[in-house]
Amino acid sequence: MSDALLARARELDAADPLAQYRESFELPEGVTYLDGNSLGALPKATRERLMHVVGQEWGSDLIRSWNPTDAGGDWISLPQRVGAKIAPLIGAQANEVIACDSVSVNLTKLIGAALDMRPGRKIVVSEPGNFPTDLYMIQGLDSAEQRLANRDAMLDALDEDVALLLLTHVHYKTGAMYDMAALTKAAHDVGALVLWDLSHSGGAVPVDLNACGADFAVGCGYKYLNGGPGAPAYAYVASKHHDAFRQPITGWMGHKAPFAFSDTYEPADGVSRMLAGTPPILAMAALDCGVELMTEIGMERLVAKSRALSEFFRTAMAEHCPQMRCVSPSDPAKRGSQLSFYHEEAYALCQALIARGVIGDFRAPDVLRFGFAPAYVSFADAARAVTELADILETVSWDKPEFKQRAAVT
């Protein structure tokens, strides 16, 4: 390993106010984990919480745990309680956010709600190359018509036929971040609503939905929020729309009085009408632990660390791996907590790195992506990844058949 780079990393780690939080996660010895933007690491508290929920709340208290019990319980309000904890991370009020379903399902609910609130308009504007599910969910609704515009032409795509602007705030592949305030205003100027996908933003970059006047948002629970594989997602509905919005997946848990068992749907108040079916309690409890840690650290410290870490990595890459072309914005204020690099052999490079214990990921067709989850990634991790990659490039050790074999999930 380059001695100067490692020495510098050690200095930065020694001065890092978040260094202690690494201990709050279970990270295996010898692994440098730069993929928390795809699956966040396991908080130690989650293991204990799940043991309690499974052993005591489910195992002993059984169905009584839907209501508050001596051991905890109160399962029924977990979606709202977890949502309220997520709210300060994204500049929202506690009663504007709820944890439920997947991002995909929440997109369908909110695209449907927006179209319903803009009768006579069908067009949903988004960008080509957006995260696929965002586009697929527009395409799945007969009432919606998709209009795709490139980033630099986004403003021209907005006119009085547009019902909704649906964008991913931080692009999953490049890390490029939209100006949320400016685009929200531009959409409102033509009478359209806005839905932000915060999957790569929540817990990683500053987001102020209230200050931007955003209408709707969705975000992912298993990335920077460390909620575990397939964790519930979250949804935000601005309080100004709490009376007017109706979403199409009108399940019993979103009913005003689910246990009245009425034949007729009547929406619950506010964001609670985003619920559809019974919440997955084990997954919800795990998400609660992940979110708790993020709120304890606070967005300001998370953002400061994320920027310092990714800048350290970017400058080290430019020096030690100059053949990797960075495709993320060089200004840390204009990107998410990740850096992506173009290389024709990105897939094999990624596999060769994983074989050495450095986990980043590959995004088709030719991007090598590194995520910097600020709560647990150290500067020494970043230094190690750069040094290993430099060695792999120099020795061409990526050029082996086993590194070119594609798995089902990449």
Ligand X SMILES: *Cc1c(COP(=O)(O)O)cnc(C)c1O
Interacting residues toward ligand X by CB under 6 A: 102-104, 131, 133-134, 168, 172, 197, 199-200, 220, 233
Quick check: 339 and 367 in contact, CB under 8 A?
no
Among 16, 101, 197, 381, the one annotated catalytic: 197
Active site residue 222: yes
Measured from the CB atom, is 127 or 197 closer to ligand X?
197
Report how far residue 228's alpha carbon sits from residue 4's, in angstroms, rounded to the nearest whole number: 36
Minimum distance from residue 174 beta carbon to ligand X (Å)? 12
Measured from the CB atom, is 123 or 231 closer to ligand X?
231
Minimum distance from residue 407 beta carbon to ligand X (Å)? 18
Active site residue 240: no
Report how far residue 286's alpha carbon sits from residue 221's, in angstroms, rounded to the nearest whole number: 10
Minimum distance from residue 168 beta carbon to ligand X (Å)? 4
Minimum distance from residue 349 beta carbon to ligand X (Å)? 22
Active site residue 131: yes
Measured from the CB atom, is 102 or 210 closer to ligand X?
102
326 to 59, 227, 388, 399: CA distances (angstroms): 51, 29, 17, 21
Active site residue 25: no
Minimum distance from residue 178 beta carbon to ligand X (Å)? 12
* Sequence-ordered list of residues with C-beta below 8 angstroms from that of 335, at least 6 positions apart, any chain: 170, 174, 175, 176, 177, 310, 328, 329
Closest among 270, 273, 280, 245 to 258, alpha carbons compared: 273
110 to 22, 198, 311: CA distances (angstroms): 36, 14, 36
Measured from the CB atom, is 103 or 238 closer to ligand X?
103
Among 25, 33, 131, 245, the one annotated catalytic: 131
Among 85, 121, 223, 307, the one annotated catalytic: 223
Quick check: 124 and 112 in contact, CB under 8 A?
no
Measured from the CB atom, is 65 or 338 closer to ligand X?
338
* Sequence-ordered list of residues with C-beta below 8 angstroms from that of 44, at least 6 positions apart, any chain: 23, 24, 25, 26
Report how far residue 38's alpha carbon sits from residue 96's, in angstroms, rounded to the nearest whole number: 25
Active site residue 369: yes
Structure tokens at 232: 């519930």
Backbone angles phi, psi at 12, to 5 degrees: -65, -40
Minimum distance from residue 169 beta carbon to ligand X (Å)? 9
Report how far residue 328's alpha carbon sits from residue 371's, in angstroms, rounded to the nearest whole number: 12
Burial 210-243 (b: 16+ CB within 10 A, else e): bebbbbbbbbbbbbbbbbbeebbbbbbbbeebee
Measured from the CB atom, is 361 or 388 closer to ligand X?
361
Among 178, 216, 222, 234, the one annotated catalytic: 222
Catalytic residue set: 131, 197, 222-223, 369
